[in-house]
Structure 1
């Protein structure tokens, strides 16, 4: 007889011997030594490929009590062998049947801990495979548990999600289709795993509201909140051509359905924006749950208001401005993130809320909510700092949408705030252009607009028609703002006659000259002289060393430029001079218009 065969027969014999000895014992008389011998012999049978024989032993009715008490010890070697026998269908099938039998026969409490231990010990590529393998037996065991069922369900779901969270979320169409680590498939399997417990909560809610039911409900809410943060917060959730059922869209639908079925969807979407905890949180919830809930609630709002998951459940009684108010905190949370997948959700949610509103319908008192000031400032940061051009452009478009929705006092307040806080000449130039547009509307429409004419406009003009550092201001760096200010002033001088003085520009002309026009003229002369000298210097240096093409650096607008040849530096310097010439030509035209109008008025008076 071959040695290997005899060893296996020995292992089976050992197992049978242990079982025969234990068959005559009462449950209470089983010793630790019996458990160890059973585990070693059972493991040997599995590893040597004799899972079919082990299955027979487990299925034997006489061994029911022994398997109930000792079977859970086989979970660890069983999981290893299932992965080991991937290519051997018969052996793998026997192992899977053993797993099913253990779920039916073993002590639920012992088997529950054994299954969780295997999930906890899984890592890397085996995480999803292990979770999907053990979900069914784990569900079977949990449904048998009576005491602490809610706690055990919560522990299982938390353990599973903690194991999945380190895995990268597939984002591109190709990654989602490949599902290399099995995350897409696994997430949807976990939702199916949770369904019997959801149904239990729903049935109990229909009957009464016992304490245990509330516990299980809270565990399910925690699971949904974790799922919203991972994987849904970073997942790509747009419809993808060629993917009939997008796995993450399916998962999102299921999570929304759970929240709806346990009557928590509407309370969570409309959590008060007053810094209070969500209504489902009791004092026992850990601080980390509260912190994590901000991301989860933001993702939930995105799913409902942008992707329209569960939107049919909502009564259509909320005003667009109230929906915006409810979502502004969520928008702020999303816009403060730097990941493209999360940032784009914030922009989409903000845009979706704004598009529901009519222009000029958002009342200025909303700006008393701090978040209504914070969010446009976040947009400015994205517009100026985000490395992705599409995000920068979208942020600018959404900022304009936001401006358009406010009433005139709201626009006025917002402009003042952004001019003081943006610290970016391009953004300031954009806001000044908006101010000019509002003044134009005020001067051409029949109804009174007190915010962009008369004494209210003067403080705004003081902000716009000034140089931050007088004649020492870096004109190149601030050219966008300066050009916008000059164009606004030119418009005011042309459009608003001195006799009407609707905008107050003629009243404050002395201050404008002192704070803006004169220092700008001095600054231009200084800057042009400096740059012309630099050009002359570079040309002379190039003549001296015409045989070589030296590489050196130049400083423009206080920033050191990358190493450039002299020719490249000259191009930069000439470009700066062109900008100064452009500013000077508009300045000259404004001065000419002011002088012409002032002269005409003096002649009329004389």
Structure 2
């Protein structure tokens, strides 16, 4: 069996040799291409790469190798990826020789095919193997390389985007997914093309629409979005050597090297006029997600900050960044939300407290961001992100001046539609009133005639006596605490806040319906409590554990629960009603005493 196999292999070698020898390029036929490809691939696949090497380096075969050699890339790449000692040396030599003698256009197509068809488990290995050969081939194209460079970068980035992003320091150190190697290889890959652009700039052969520059620009923008927007960079104190941090730095340095100003990029959305021609092209060339990533790298990680002007007004920087904060906070992915909060916080801390004017609230982003913050604080499933959101939300409030705070509070009470957020806003209102009542801090917005419309918003029930008191517990309790504070702090003879002039209206629109609602809710829950106790008494101890009871709160039916659980819910509700009633009673007591206590 061995002898026939050996004879067949020899025949293949001879067929390859005969097909290559002394054939002139103009005489190549489709059969020549087919035989060269199949014979050469068979020899490589069966481990006879030494023979293929002897054929392709033979000067007499230069013509056919020039035209057909790129067909051997597929089997060669497979061997090089496997790194088998037996064939690796010869295959590497063949590969390098083909890069020198084959048509660069056909080589480029062949190499990009190998990148596109990479095994899902070998994407990183394929990219790191082929980027240097791709660079060699592109440089051989000379002035014709620009459009093909763009195609190559797009193909490679499509594959890089499939690689998982490291989530921990250990994953980045070990490069378990290969993303770090790919990013490092990409930085080296674009270097000669960036150098060429820099030389053109120095020699004043520079145009912003130069095709090579545009392709590198598109690569940088794409990289900022994928993978860098998904990467949580580690601080140097946490990870001294970080390939991903180095890649981010290279991207920002590259942008500056090709004539882009980081300031112009950051302020692009703020300064651009929407009616200029080519608006769609601008959107494509400067994707907002990429610019958001740029802002995060600059202000959170301080990457390339030495290339960014340090004399800019903090308010101007905030205006630039608000669109990016808005974009990031409008997403649902934890990484985007985290980056949005970080960017907003780092931008806000540069702004002086109580300095932002109310004019900013007329800008779309300054209205959108608080609404997105509400969603983060109330809907995000990650506790740490919700907590961070609340902290940054308070920080944003602290930066507005008095008039802006007033208008912001009115807007949030009208639009938040969440009792917890409304309660938080009411607590802030109480703090501003307290400050205004202190000597030297008086203002027109949290005292007197301007305050009353805000108090009317606060001291009201959304649905009157029918309001679900438990669902609105946070808002109602903060409203009661504010009213109690006003009646104690602002005596009737002073009436600086105007609350005593408004007391009859408050009684009619807030206190009376609240008292009615409390009585109705208490009666309902006491009846439910009595019924549940009766059921529990009648049932045996074993049966009482079967989850067959239901509780209806407002219009919502709670999940099935045991009688013990039902009793806890009902008793907890009654406790909350007691709490409301005690504060309500105290308010009525103060009001009757005319604020003299």
Q: TM-score, normalised by structure 1?
A: 0.93
Q: Secondary structure at the match of 2:306?
A: helix
The corresponding residue for 1:517 is: 511
Change (3 A) 1:213 1:493: closer
Aligned match of 1:544: 538
**How many residues align structurally?**
592
1:22-41 correspondence runs (5 A): 22=23, 25=24, 27-41=25-39
Displacement after TM superposition at 1:211 (Å): 5.7
1:310 alignment partner, one of 304, 311, 314: 304
**Are residues 538 and 274 of structure 1, via their aligned partners in 2, closer, same or farther at CA, if it must alter by over 3 Å?**
farther
Measure, in 2, the Cα distance between the counterparts of 1:366 and 1:219: 37
Distance in 1 between the 2:279 and 2:522 partners? 67
Please, which of 108, 127, 130 is the counterpart of residue 134 of structure 1? 130
* CA–CA separation in structure 2 for the residues paired with 1:259 and 1:341: 25
Which residue among 484, 493, 501 is the counterpart of 2:487? 493
Instruction: Give, in angstroms, the shift of residue 164 of structure 1.
Output: 2.1
Which stretch of structure 1 is more off in the superposition, 241-250 or 579-588? 241-250
Change (3 A) 1:219 1:445: farther
Matches within 5 A, 1:113-128: 113-128=109-124
Report how far residue 30 of structure 1 moved: 2.6
Structure 1 residues 275 and 587: alpha-carbon distance in aligned structure 2, compared to 1, 3 A threshold: farther
The corresponding residue for 1:18 is 19
Decide whether aligned partners of structure 1 residues 181 and 53 sit closer, same or farther in structure 2, where only a CA change above 3 A counts: farther
Q: After the TM superposition, which residues 243-322 of structure 1 pair with which residues of structure 2 at under 5 Å, given as runs?
A: 243-264=239-260, 265-273=262-270, 276=273, 285=281, 289=284, 293-322=287-316
Structure 1: distance between partners of 2:143 and 2:12: 38
State whether structure 2 residue 168 is matched by structure 1 residue 172.
yes
Residue-by-residue CA offset, 1:269-322 (whole Å, 9 max, x unaligned): 22132675799x9678497x36x8121111111011101111111121211111
* Residue 581 (structure 2) aligns with: 584
Contact 1:531 1:577 in 2 (8 A): yes
What whole-Å deviation, never above 9, does each CA across 1:445-486 have from its counterpart, x for those lacking one? 314310101111011000000111111111111111111111
Is 2:223 aligned against 1:227?
A: yes
- The aligned counterpart of 2:73 is 75
Determine the C-alpha separation between the residues in 2 that align with 1:116 and 1:243: 34
SS of residue in 2 equivalent to 1:21:
coil
Does the 8 A contact of 2:19 with 2:32 survive in 1? Answer: yes
| 2:165–2:231 CA contact under 8 A, matched in 1 | yes
Aligned with 1:125: secondary structure? Answer: helix
Corresponding residue number in structure 2 for 1:371: 365
> Conserved in 2, the CA contact under 8 Å of 1:334 and 1:345?
yes
- The equivalent residue for 1:561 is 558
Question: Which runs of 5 or more structure 1 residues have no equivalent in the other structure?
Answer: 602-606
Q: Distance in 2 between matches of 1:283 and 1:64?
A: 51
- Does structure 1 residue 575 correspond to structure 2 residue 572? yes
Aligned residue among 593, 597, 600 for 2:594: 597
| Structure 1 segment 416-435 matched on structure 2, within 5 A | 416-435=410-429
CA contact (8 A) 1:271 1:278 kept: no
What is aligned with 1:63? 61
* Deviation string, structure 1 residues 542-564 (Cα, Å, up to 9, x no partner): 12223421422212243322221
| 1:464 has 2:458 as partner | yes
Partner Cα distance (2:327, 2:229) in 1: 11
Q: Tell me if structure 1 keeps the 8 A contact 2:532–2:563.
A: yes
Q: Which moved more, 1:8-17 or 1:193-202?
A: 8-17
Q: Which runs of 5+ in 2 are unaligned?
A: none
Alignment correspondent of 2:408: 414
2:31 and 2:15 map into 1 onto residues whose CA distance is 13
Distance 1:528 1:213 in 2: 73
Contact 1:226 1:296 in 2 (8 A): yes
Q: Give the distance between the partners of 1:267 and 1:207, measured in 2 at CA.
A: 23
